[in-house]
Homo-oligomer: A and B are copies of this chain.
Amino acid sequence: MADQNRQWRLKTTPHGPIDDDTFTSTSEDVPEPGDGEALVAVQWLSMDPTIRGWLERDTYVPKIQEGEVVRGLGIGEVVASKSDRYAVGDLVSGTTGWQEFAIADEGDRRMQVVPAGTDPLDAVGLLGPTGLAAYFGLLRVGQPEEGDTVLVSGAAGATGSVAGQIAKLKGCTVIGTAGSDDKCARVVDHYGFDACINYKTERVSSRLRELAPDGIDVFFDNVGGDVLEAGLANLALHARIAVCGAISQYDGGTPRGPRNYMNLVVKRARMEGFLIFDHVRDYRLAMGDLTTWASEGRIRHEVDVVEGFDNVPAAFQRLFTGDKVGKNAVHLT
């Protein structure tokens, strides 16, 4: 085992796009687990857009301070343990941070043992935060009913692709948006959406009017900005917008609010934010459903793997350049 623990730390708080000055790598001795703790060798880091918010400001969690190891989810193997909760060889999932070794504290619920037999790639992807966001956001906030028309933005992404497939399972007509013709083809052909709009080349609002003349009943929004406004402009009566993210707005300086939010009144619609943490009691239920659907071939899910510790910042940046399909993760060892 290595005796050094390499880490990515926040160097300079970003206010625009992530650049070479945002992160810096450091190295320190591998920590020793104390009583009730275990040492985890991190194998996979989950690249999630929400981290972009944590880098800049307090959100639902405190801001990551300059000099701190970047907070982030990961999967690793217990390599030493002074805890009854973690056994050497266990796969654990949780807030490892962007580093090669992490301490799991048995009093901290953020680091959980993954059920034996789970593929690590499933643990980081479909059963990880993006899959759970798709599940709870679509079903609990969106509340789709059979026959509803559902719009999913960021449809080629880790969360959007799963949200749309769940909506199809529930008997809905599902329209996606994505940023290239290739992605749109994948959204329709591979993930089974009924249609997909390329927001870079098509006018989203007028295409929605054609594709959904009766309006959108449920809108699962990952992107914000123009696409959010296009969705708001095409709501059905009593529509539900599940606000998951605003990836188009994370990087651009002053964010923009939806100028036509008063359509919420015109359509007596609601817009609601959610976090998976509020549904922690139902994680087991969600993971069970997602595993079943995946094993039946009704949900497809991929992890786009980047290899190596050195490539963590580049992998994170790719979340915002649109150059990705499915879940992004970095394989460390």
Q: Is the Cβ of A246 less than 8 Å from the Cβ of B262?
A: yes
Q: For A254, what are the chain B residues with a Cβ–Cβ distance below 8 Å?
A: 259
Q: Is the Cβ of B261 less than 8 Å from the Cβ of A272?
A: no
A244 within 8 A of B: yes
A243 within 8 A of B: yes
CA A274 to CA B268, docked complex, whole Å: 5
With A257-B259, A265-B244 known as contacts, the answer to whether A273 contacts B273 (CB < 8 A) is no
With A271-B271, A271-B272, A272-B271 known as contacts, the answer to whether A59 contacts B266 (CB < 8 A) is yes
Q: Is the Cβ of A269 less than 8 Å from the Cβ of B273?
A: yes
Q: For A256, what are the chain B residues with a Cβ–Cβ distance below 8 Å?
A: 257, 259
Q: Identify the closest chain B residue to A59 (Cβ).
A: B266
A33 within 8 A of B: no
1/0 contact string of A233-275 vs chain B (CB within 8 Å): 0000000000111100100001111111111111111111111
With A243-B265, A244-B265, A259-B254 known as contacts, the answer to whether A273 contacts B275 (CB < 8 A) is no
A278 within 8 A of B: yes
Q: Is the Cβ of A268 less than 8 Å from the Cβ of B273?
A: yes
Q: Is the Cβ of B273 less than 8 Å from the Cβ of A270?
A: yes
Q: Is the Cβ of A261 less than 8 Å from the Cβ of B264?
A: no
A119 to chain B, nearest CB (A): 29
Q: For A271, what are the chain B residues with a Cβ–Cβ distance below 8 Å?
A: 261, 264, 270-272
Q: For A249, what are the chain B residues with a Cβ–Cβ distance below 8 Å?
A: 262
CA A71 to CA B275, docked complex, whole Å: 44
Which interface residue of A258, A262, A263, A275 has the most chain B CB atoms within 10 A? A262
Q: For A266, what are the chain B residues with a Cβ–Cβ distance below 8 Å?
A: 59-60, 273
Which interface residue of A254, A260, A263, A270 has the most chain B CB atoms within 10 A? A270
CA A53 to CA B263, docked complex, whole Å: 12
8 examples of A-B residue contacts, CB within 8 angstroms? A257-B258, A261-B261, A261-B271, A266-B273, A268-B272, A269-B272, A270-B272, A271-B271
Binding site for B on A (CB under 8 A): 53, 59-60, 224, 229, 243-246, 249, 254-275, 278
